[in-house]
Amino acid sequence: MSRLHLAIDILGKLVAFDTTSKNSNLGLIRYVQDYLAQYDIETTLFYDETGEKANLLATIGPKDVPGIVLSGHTDVVPALEKGWVSPAFDMTERDGKLFGRGTADMKGFAACALALIPELVKQDLAIPFHLCLSYDEEVGCLGVGSMVEHLAKIDHPPRLAVIGEPTEMKVINGQKGKYSMRVTVTGTAGHSSFAPDHVNAIEYASRAIALISDVAREIETNGPFDPDFTVPHSTMLTTTISGGTATNVTPDSCEFTFEIRHLPDHDAAAVIDNIKTRITQTLDAEMKAREADTGFEWEEIFHYPGMGDCTDAESFALVRNIIDEVSGKVSYGSEGGIFEKQGNIPSIICGPGSITQAHKRNEFVEISQLDECLAFLEKLGHQAVKTPS
């Protein structure tokens, strides 16, 4: 079986595991363990608190020198959209494309990395490859941290991480970080005909949302800016809202969420703290002056850091020798910032498929993209081979 056909075969098996983030990923992880065991490669698992999900780490090559991370997440978004032409978890080939949930985002990269294993184990590697497969990336990059912490503490931490998110095999040298926040507003209920006697939670929530929107426009106008990003400044917006019980009842509760996607060097926590302070001193104080048990409650749902530019790092030469052009920075998230900030591992994003195919019905990756990814990984592997003395 050719390397490309092996990658396609593996991808079909990976897609068949419904690893939607709400589900366990252990079926897929066990499959990868069994596959690697054929080549006498040991694996280490890092479980979540429930024991139903795990990260997988496997090292190919020597362990006494810094190596290269090949990183991919195993979870996918739900495939509930109407209009799938073929079953989402039964990969189908049509017109040179492989359709199925996760083909692009991002099991295609994992399949290519696994397809390269038979060649890597035959080579006398000077530096190791660390295969890292994580859980719960799609719900906030929640899983990979335990594995990154482990890598940061080994005697010879990795020198570079390649995050295989779909970039059409272009090198991405930066990504934004993200904070996701939930705000609960508590007012007082009563018959709406006596509305002035009550504290309307939805109205106070709407005033807070307007303030958040004002701050977002200030950032859009005043920066900071980085023109290399697809959107050159941090963005902030309200994403969900719910509240009230009936049309004739003054609402005593309202909940909304908002996010800020921030440039790597923009202090998003300070922006959120400033918003909280302004609302506490004005809207919250106004509510409590009317009724002591009312007001705002704040909860961080998750956050992950941005990924900075590592093109000046010595280890980036490993990639520059293969792909000359750096294609810029992206506004979506990945685990690259965690490898960089938490693990002190310079990181890039580069993988097969297009981000425009992610999170939508009839997701696909072009077979030619898998072939291009395999060629990239092969060249990376050649650089890791010992040169004759």
CATH of the domain at 13: 3.40.630.10
Residue 20 and residue 166 share a domain: yes
- Model pLDDT for residues 110-148, shown as the tens digit of each residue: 999 999 999 999 999 999 999 999 999 999 999 999 999
In a domain, 195, yes or no: yes
- Model pLDDT for residues 184-209, shown as the tens digit of each residue: 999 999 999 999 999 999 999 999 99
In a domain, 74, yes or no: yes
Average pLDDT over the chain, rounded to whole? 96
In a domain, 282, yes or no: yes
Residue 147 and residue 43 share a domain: yes
- Reported as a pLDDT band with limits 50, 70 and 90, residue 179 is very high
- Model pTM greater than 0.85? yes
CA distance 149 to 230: 30
Q: What CATH number does residue 249 fall under?
A: 3.30.70.360
CB atoms inside a 10 Å sphere around CB 258: 22
Task: Single out the residue in 268, 284, 304 at which a domain terminates.
Answer: 304
Residue 23 and residue 79 share a domain: yes
Residue 106 and residue 15 share a domain: yes
Residue 217 and residue 96 share a domain: no
pLDDT at 83: 95
- Reported as a pLDDT band with limits 50, 70 and 90, residue 387 is low
pLDDT at 324: 75
Residue 126 and residue 206 share a domain: no
Task: Single out the residue in 239, 271, 304 at which a domain terminates.
Answer: 304
Range of the domain at 110: 3-174+306-384
- Reported as a pLDDT band with limits 50, 70 and 90, residue 160 is very high
Residue pair 274/211 in contact (Cβ under 8 Å)? The answer is no
Task: State yes or no: pLDDT of 238 exceeds 80.
Answer: yes
Residue 266 and residue 235 share a domain: yes
**Looking at the chain, how many residues does it have?**
389
In a domain, 284, yes or no: yes
Residue 244 and residue 155 share a domain: no
Task: State yes or no: pLDDT of 250 exceeds 90.
Answer: yes
134 - beta bridge partners?
Answer: 73
In a domain, 389, yes or no: no
Residue pair 66/126 in contact (Cβ under 8 Å)? The answer is no
Q: What SS3 string covers the chain?
A: CCHHHHHHHHHHHHHHCCCECCCCCHHHHHHHHHHHHCCCCCEEEEECCCCCCEEEEEEECCCCCCCEEEEEECCECCCCCCCCCCCCCCCEEECCEEECCCHHHHHHHHHHHHHHHHHHCCCCECCCEEEEEECCCCCCCCCCHHHHHHHHHCCCCCCEEEECCCCCCCEECCECEEEEEEEEEECCCEEHHHHHHCCCHHHHHHHHHHHHHHHHHHHHHHCCECCCECCCECEEEEEEEEECCCCCEECCEEEEEEEEEECCCCCHHHHHHHHHHHHHHHHHHHHHHHCCCCEEEEEEEEEECCECCCCCCHHHHHHHCCCCCECCEECCCCCHHHHHHCCCCCEEECCCCCHHHCCCCCCEEEHHHHHHHHHHHHHHHHHHECCCC
Task: State yes or no: pLDDT of 388 exceeds 80.
Answer: no
In a domain, 257, yes or no: yes
Residue 345 and residue 229 share a domain: no
In a domain, 315, yes or no: yes
Strands 97-99 and 235-243: unpaired
pLDDT at 29: 98
- Model pLDDT for residues 37-71, shown as the tens digit of each residue: 999 999 999 999 999 999 999 999 999 999 999 99
CA distance 276 to 268: 12
Task: Single out the residue in 243, 274, 304 at which a domain terminates.
Answer: 304
Residue 57 and residue 85 share a domain: yes
In a domain, 194, yes or no: yes
What is the percent of the chain with per-residue pLDDT over 90, rounded to a whole number? 95
Residue 148 and residue 19 share a domain: yes
Q: Count up the domains in the chain and report the number.
A: 2
Residue 90 and residue 50 share a domain: yes
Task: State yes or no: pLDDT of 389 exceeds 60.
Answer: no
When pLDDT is averaged across residues 334-357 and rounded to a whole number, the result is: 97
Residue pair 160/70 in contact (Cβ under 8 Å)? The answer is no
pLDDT at 382: 85
In the chain, the amino acid numbered 100 is G
